Amino acid sequence: MMGVEGPCDGPGASPSWGTPDIRSATRLLEIGGEEAMVRFGRSVLDTPGARAVLVWNGDEARCRIATGGDRVSGALPWVPADRVDLLVLLDEQGATLVRDGIRCEPVRGAGLRAAGASALSLDAAPVVATPRGAEAATRALARAPLHTAALLIGIMRESAEFSRSYALERVAFGKPIAHHQELAFLIADMATAVDASRLLLWEAAWRLDEAAEGGPCSTELAAEACATAFAEAVEQSQFVTPNGVQILGGHGFMQDYPVEKRMREARALGLLLGGVDRAREEAGRELCAWEGPIALTVEAAS
Partner 1 sequence: MKLAIDAGTQQRLEMVRNLGSSQLRPAGLEADRAGHPLPHDHTLFQLLVKVGLGKTRWDGKAEAAERSGGEAKIGASRSLICVAEEMSYWDRGVAVAFPGPGLGDPPISGMGTADQKRRFLSPFLNPERPLWGSFAMTEPSAGSDVAAIQTTARPDGDSWILNGAKSFAAHASRAEWIVVWATVDKTLGREGHRAFVVEKGTPGLGDFVVERKMGLKAYESTSFTLRDCRVPAANLLGGEERYAKRAGFKGAVKSFNATRPLVAAMAVGIGRAALDEAAAFARENDLLERVRGRDRLERIRRRLRAARLLCWRAAWLADYGRPNILEASMAKATAPAVALEAASLGMELLGEVGGRGDHLIEKLFRDVKAMDIVEGTGQIQRLIMARQLVQLPRD
Distance CA 87, CA 121 (A): 11
Count of beta carbons in the 10 Å neighbourhood of residue 189: 15
Is residue 260 close enough to count as binding partner 1 by CB under 8 A? yes
Which of the stretches 44-52, 76-84, 136-144, 189-197 binds partner 1 when contact is defined by CB under 8 A?
A: 76-84
Which residue's CB is nearer to partner 1, number 78 or number 206?
78
Query: Least distance from C-beta 50 to partner 1, angstroms?
Result: 22
Phi-psi map region of 174: left, alpha, beta (phi>0 left; psi -120 to 50 alpha): left
Q: Which of 23, 61, 213, 214 touches partner 1 (CB under 8 A)?
A: 61
Residue whose C-alpha is closest to residue 223's, from 285, 171, 169, 175 = 285
Is residue 71 close enough to count as binding partner 1 by CB under 8 A? no
Q: Which of 58, 154, 242, 258 touches partner 1 (CB under 8 A)?
A: 242
Q: Which of 58, 94, 111, 131 touches partner 1 (CB under 8 A)?
A: 111
Distance CA 99, CA 86 (A): 5
DSSP string, 193-210: HHHHHHHHHHHHHHHHHH
Is residue 154 close enough to count as binding partner 1 by CB under 8 A? no
Taking the CA atoms of 183, 185, 191 and 193 in sequence, report the sign of the dihedral they define. Answer: negative
Is residue 293 close enough to count as binding partner 1 by CB under 8 A? no
Is residue 107 close enough to count as binding partner 1 by CB under 8 A? yes
Residue whose C-alpha is closest to residue 110's, from 300, 241, 270 = 270
Is residue 286 close enough to count as binding partner 1 by CB under 8 A? no
Question: Contact residues for partner 1 (CB under 8 A)?
Answer: 61-63, 76-80, 107-111, 117, 119, 171-175, 180, 182-183, 186, 238, 242, 245-246, 249-250, 252-256, 260, 263-264, 267-268, 270-272, 274-277, 280
